[in-house]
Amino acid sequence: MAKTKGGQGTPATVALTKAGAEFTLHPYEHDANAQAYGEEAADALGVPYERIFKTLVAETEAGLAVAVVPVAGKLDLKAFAAALRGKKAAMAEAAKVERVTGYVVGGISPLGQRKRLPTVVDASALAFETIYFSAGRRGLQIETAPGNLVTLTGAITAQIAKD
């Protein structure tokens, strides 16, 4: 079960707890001036960039979809669209993403979103015993097995990240 400190529940942690998945919460001091939230988390927690994953939301022909990629790379929009059996994708507007997910940019978790969106997790996640991603709030990361993320989001895995 979870290793947490009191008062840190988010929809993402609730989803993991409800599923009985093991996870650890890693709080850190968020810098309000930070622009690269994933890199900030990696640096604050001393975790390699390859193990911290960012949650991005893009528009596809079928609607909004979630991409989970390492902060060390960028989302390959063409590969992402292809993984969802589409032809193209473009990054969604921040205000729309916040409205649909219920999270603020920089704290968007792939878990516990208001509306369950199709999700693609970069295949590199499967190389690690555990990965980190936003717990749904800036300054708070979840560490769990990548299989937990894939199962709870109903995600597919594909090579969607590029350097």
pLDDT tens-digit profile of 124-135? 999 999 999 999
- The CATH class of 11-162 is alpha beta
pLDDT reported for residue 4: 44
56 has a pLDDT exceeding 60:
yes
Mean pLDDT within 25-52: 92
Hey, what are 22's tokens? Answer: 């093991």
**DSSP of 108-151:** --SSS-SS---EEEEGGGGGSS-EEEEEEETTEEEEE-HHHHHH
118, amino acid identity: P
Instruction: Output the pTM of the full model.
Output: 0.93
- Is residue 153 very low, low, confident or very high in pLDDT (cuts 50, 70, 90)? very high
Q: Residue 116: phi, psi to the nearest 5?
A: -75, 120
